[in-house]
Amino acid sequence: MLKKITFKTISSLRPPPKRIEIRDTVLKGFGFRYWQSKTDLRRVDGSWFITYREHGKLKRHTIGSLACFDLAEARDQAREKFQKIGKGETLDKPMPEQESGPGTVSALIPEFEKRYLQEKWKEPGKVKRTLERELIDNKPSWKNRPIKDITKGDIHAKLDRLKDDGKGYAANRLLEAIRLMFKYAVQRGYIESSPAEGIDKPRKEKPRRRVLDDSELKAIWGAFHNLGYPYGPFFQLLLLTGQREGELAGVTWDEIDFDAAQWNIPAERTKSDRAHKIPLSSWAMDIFNSMPRMSSIDYVFVGRGSTSRPISGFNRAAERARLAARIEDWRPHDLRRTARTRFGEIGTPPHIAELVLNHTVKGLQAVYDRYEYTKEKREALDKWAVHLKAITEGKQNVVALR
């Protein structure tokens, strides 16, 4: 295919069903091939090349991969090669069609997620989405930036933007993700050193102690109800079960045992690396039963932008609930802390409360005590549901079910 090759031509490429070759109308003999990546079907791989005649025979010389050379660099390389050919010089040994390793940030992120995060991280999709949103989608975009060209100044610019917007904690999470990604790139030999090393966290973090009081619980529960699906029932179940946001967001229908009224989280989805069974109160079961369910979708809480992945964007939904309830400084994780605090208030033994939250058990108890305390956890969660209902409905002196 003959075509004027421009930056837009390259940036708009999509994985083709078969290999495609485009020859430039600006610089005769210059062009590129591209194809669907074998390791990531959503990514395009390709290479720049030139064609020329030597002793009457048509020859091809590969300049390098699309990921390692932008259009201007590839054209410059092509002109240099043509000058050598014009002088009768022999070209260097051709480079392979695909260089090992991704050249740009946009190519590195999916590989990093596949080869590192999925094997070593509890929430690989969350880290990947953070990197894609902040480094690719938000300006200035690093989409076509070679990873070897990213500097500390580039990283600081991204972090400063978040911090200036009042998102210091988000800036800390972004720095952690960038550090991990460039650590991976160093380990794979793509770069010699990480530009993220030596950069301090943008914001000093202090352990939060925020616990919602009765009036706040009543107000925020009403706000959750008005949010509707998916965020309303999501926040309600966070409070009723005391579980982590990421673990509840990723719940699938097959993890819910409706006969036993129990939520079974597999070990690979928990922060502690242990399978976790959460008895569900009748109130929690009513919420699960009230939600829409489609046979073709596994997730209970489906993202509005895609039916193939669970919900995200908890903080934006939480802000809407906060404004509606007119309470100060509330975050989703505060629900887990509030539930744990209220367990103590209603008389739940501390070790049972910790088991409900799936906190790591240490010492000899972790080695020798293999009892799951399912009955005791159910009693604690049932009692908490009754207590919470009394608060949200404004009732007094309600006796917990036994």
pLDDT score for 306:
59
User: How do residues 191-247 score in pLDDT, each as one tens digit?
Assistant: 888 999 989 888 777 777 899 999 999 999 999 999 999 999 999 999 999 999 989
Q: Tokens 């998916």 appear where?
A: 230
pLDDT score for 369:
62
pLDDT score for 383:
97
- Nearest alpha-carbon partner for 311 in 299, 324, 298: 299
d(Cα 379, Cα 373) in Å, to the nearest integer?
Answer: 10
d(Cα 344, Cα 333) in Å, to the nearest integer?
Answer: 18
Residue type, 1: M
Question: Which strands form 30-36's sheet, in the order they lie side by side?
Answer: 2-3, 20-24, 30-36, 44-54, 57-65
Radius of gyration of the chain (CA): 28
d(Cα 65, Cα 63) in Å, to the nearest integer?
Answer: 7
pTM of the model: 0.57
DSSP 36: E
Q: Tell me whether strands 256-257 and 57-65 are parallel, antiparallel or unpaired.
A: unpaired
pLDDT at 119 over 90: no
Give the confidence band of 129 by pLDDT, cuts at 50, 70, 90.
confident
pLDDT score for 300:
93
pLDDT score for 117:
87
d(Cα 176, Cα 197) in Å, to the nearest integer?
Answer: 11
- H or E element in which residue 77 lies: helix 71-86
Q: Tell me whether strands 44-54 and 30-36 are parallel, antiparallel or unpaired.
A: antiparallel
- Nearest alpha-carbon partner for 357 in 247, 232, 233, 230: 247
pLDDT score for 92:
57
**Hey, what are 118's tokens?**
């999925």
DSSP secondary structure letters along 144-167:
T-BGGG--HHHHHHHHHHHHHTT-
pLDDT at 157 over 80: yes
Give the confidence band of 95 by pLDDT, cuts at 50, 70, 90.
very low
User: How do residues 303-343 score in pLDDT, each as one tens digit?
Assistant: 766 566 788 778 888 999 999 999 988 889 999 999 999 99
pLDDT score for 273:
73
- Nearest alpha-carbon partner for 130 in 180, 102, 170: 170
| Other Cβ atoms within 10 Å of 209 Cβ, number | 8
**Hey, what are 351's tokens?**
């070790």
pLDDT score for 259:
96
For residue 5, the Cα-to-chain-centroid distance in whole angstroms is: 34
Torsion of CA 226, 231, 235, 236, to 10 degrees: 50
User: How do residues 338-362 score in pLDDT, each as one tens digit?
Assistant: 999 999 999 999 999 999 999 876 6
Range scoring the smallest mean pLDDT among 75-89, 114-128, 255-269: 114-128
User: How do residues 159-175 score in pLDDT, each as one tens digit?
Assistant: 999 888 888 888 898 99
Q: Tokens 């193939």 appear where?
A: 308
pLDDT at 270 over 90: no
**Hey, what are 12's tokens?**
């708009």
pLDDT at 302 over 60: yes
DSSP secondary structure letters along 94-130:
PPPSS-SS--BHHHHHHHHIIIIIHHH-S-HHHHHHH
| Residue 44 Ramachandran class (φ > 0 left, ψ -120 to 50 alpha, else beta) | beta
Average pLDDT over residues 142-148: 90
pLDDT, averaged across the chain: 86
Taken as a whole, the chain contains a residue count of: 402
Average pLDDT over residues 84-97: 68
Bridge partners for 260 per DSSP: none
For residue 96, the Cα-to-chain-centroid distance in whole angstroms is: 33
Q: Tokens 């660099």 appear where?
A: 73
Q: Tokens 């616990």 appear where?
A: 211
Residue type, 301: F
d(Cα 216, Cα 195) in Å, to the nearest integer?
Answer: 44
d(Cα 2, Cα 39) in Å, to the nearest integer?
Answer: 29
